């Protein structure tokens, strides 16, 4: 797609721009075709203006974080992909020490946030141990585990609305769902406020984190590219068990395989295309539906044309 010259000039002014950039370089699946334009802003405050200028040209804008929950089509993504990730502890501040409130920029890696909070003697955020990606992606996905979700500690978000305005919004109960926080279409997350607790015993908090990481290393096929669990757990079921009981452990299409270690992971064995992964997702859905009459809904965000 031909990018408008004025728009390109604007993007170059505000950050770095790569044209026809393979999304395989930006997804943990290591698959996905080219984004017309891959943009990393120096300061996300420019995104209001960028979105307005793009909308005038009829060019779509997609914001991503660390790409750890994405399956991007081999045909790529039309328009502009904005990457908000890769920030360290400099993107975190204590917003209110009496209230144990931290603010983290959307671009901050979850790992950096966890480390920052542990070092300052907080607890309540240990469930973040081993979760890939960034704060913004974690907020949108309401990421978490059986030990906690983002919505347990997130109180308020800073967003850019689709009209380009920077706003703060409290998290209310009706926004919270399993693997998702509901925002208005087109909202971009700039950061979030997290309420933690002072750990009674900070060393115990660190020990919990170390144990969680060891347990995840033991249970998850981290030696292969993946996007973590592919399917949400349907009410009353564990997806990994349904997939296992449907006889799909190790089932392969092209370079994509249902992990033998954890059957809710589909792994890239080294040469998978996104199409292989997509076809395997569909196959698993069909087989589980046929055998048990249960629909598996993907947790992974499928982007582009398949």
Ligand X SMILES: Cc1cc2nc3c(=O)[nH]c(=O)nc-3n(C[C@H](O)[C@H](O)[C@H](O)COP(=O)(O)OP(=O)(O)OC[C@H]3O[C@@H](n4cnc5c(N)ncnc54)[C@H](O)[C@@H]3O)c2cc1C
Residue 70, CA distances (Å) to 22, 253, 298, 299 in order: 14, 19, 11, 9
Phi–psi pair at 111, nearest 5 degrees:
-65, -40
Alpha carbon distance 26, 9 (integer Å): 23
Q: Is 179 a catalytic residue?
A: yes
- The answer to whether 243 and 249 are in contact (CB under 8 A) is yes
- Of 6 and 182, nearer to ligand X (C-beta) is 182
- Of 122 and 225, nearer to ligand X (C-beta) is 225
Residue 148, CA distances (Å) to 94, 105, 253 in order: 21, 20, 34
Which of these is catalytic: 229, 239, 259, 274? Answer: 229
Check residue 68 for interaction with ligand X (CB under 6 A).
Answer: yes
Which of these is catalytic: 78, 179, 208, 249? Answer: 179
Exactly one of 188, 257, 281, 288 binds ligand X (CB under 6 A); that residue is 188
- Of 98 and 184, nearer to ligand X (C-beta) is 184
- Of 121 and 162, nearer to ligand X (C-beta) is 162
Strands (E), the chain: 15-22, 34-41, 61-64, 70-72, 77-83, 92-96, 101-105, 122-123, 144-145, 148-149, 154-160, 166-170, 176-177, 180-181, 188-195, 197-198, 252-253, 256-258, 266-268, 301-303
Check residue 84 for interaction with ligand X (CB under 6 A).
Answer: yes
Question: Which range touches ligand X (CB under 6 A), out of 161-169, 205-213, 224-232, 252-260?
Answer: 224-232
Q: Is 229 a catalytic residue?
A: yes
Exactly one of 33, 34, 66, 298 binds ligand X (CB under 6 A); that residue is 66
Which of helix, strand or coil describes residue 297? coil
- Of 121 and 175, nearer to ligand X (C-beta) is 175
Question: Which range touches ligand X (CB under 6 A), out of 143-151, 168-176, 242-250, 282-290?
Answer: 143-151
Phi–psi pair at 298, nearest 5 degrees:
-60, 140
Check residue 226 for interaction with ligand X (CB under 6 A).
Answer: yes
Which of these is catalytic: 21, 87, 126, 299? Answer: 299
- The answer to whether 227 and 300 are in contact (CB under 8 A) is yes
Q: What is the DSSP letter of 198?
A: E
Residue 147, CA distances (Å) to 124, 134, 152 in order: 10, 19, 10
Q: Which residues contact 259 (CB under 8 A, 6 or more apart)?
A: 221, 224, 226, 265, 266, 267
Question: Which range touches ligand X (CB under 6 A), out of 50-58, 117-125, 134-142, 162-170?
Answer: 134-142
Q: Is 299 a catalytic residue?
A: yes
- Of 41 and 67, nearer to ligand X (C-beta) is 67
Minimum CB distance to ligand X, residue 153 (Å):
14
Site mask for ligand X (CB under 6 A), range 3-42, x = bound = -------------------------x--------------
Exactly one of 17, 35, 106, 117 binds ligand X (CB under 6 A); that residue is 106
**How many residues make contact with ligand X (CB under 6 A)?**
33
Of 88, 4, 72, 87, give the one whose Cα is nearest residue 33.
72
Q: What does the binding site for ligand X look like in residue numbers (CB under 6 A)?
A: 28, 62-70, 84-85, 106, 131-134, 136-138, 140-141, 143-145, 188-189, 220, 222, 226-228, 301
Give the active site residues: 179, 229, 299
């Amino acid at each position: 797609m031909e990018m408008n010259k004025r728009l390109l000039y604007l993007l170059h002014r505000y950050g770095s721009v790569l044209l026809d950039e393979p999304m395989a370089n930006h997804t943990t699946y290591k698959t996905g075709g080219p984004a017309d334009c891959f943009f990393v802003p120096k300061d996300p405050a420019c995104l209001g203006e960028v979105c307005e200028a793009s909308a005038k040209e009829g060019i779509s804008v997609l914001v991503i974080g660390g790409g750890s929950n994405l399956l991007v089509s081999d045909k790529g993504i039309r328009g502009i992909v904005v990457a908000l990730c890769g920030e360290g502890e400099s993107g975190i501040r204590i917003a209110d020490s009496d209230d144990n409130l931290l603010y983290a920029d959307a671009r901050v890696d979850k790992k950096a946030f966890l480390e920052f909070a542990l070092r300052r003697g907080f607890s309540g955020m240990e469930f973040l141990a081993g979760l890939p990606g960034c704060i913004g992606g974690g907020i949108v996905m309401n990421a978490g585990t059986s030990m906690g979700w983002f919505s347990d500690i997130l109180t308020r978000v800073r967003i850019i609305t689709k009209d380009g305005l920077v706003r703060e919004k409290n998290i209310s109960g009706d926004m919270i769902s399993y693997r998702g926080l509901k925002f208005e279409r087109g909202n971009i997350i700039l950061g979030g406020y997290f309420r933690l607790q002072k750990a009674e015993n900070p060393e115990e908090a660190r020990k919990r984190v170390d144990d969680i990481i060891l347990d995840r290393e033991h249970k998850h096929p981290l030696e292969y590219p993946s996007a973590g669990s592919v399917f949400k757990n349907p009410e009353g079921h564990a997806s990994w068990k349904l997939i296992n009981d449907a006889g799909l452990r190790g089932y392969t299409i092209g370079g994509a395989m249902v992990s033998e270690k954890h059957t809710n992971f589909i792994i890239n064995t080294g040469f998978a295309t996104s199409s292989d992964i997509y076809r395997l997702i569909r196959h698993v859905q069909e087989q589980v539906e046929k055998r048990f009459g249960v629909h598996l809904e993907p947790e992974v965000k499928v982007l582009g044309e398949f």
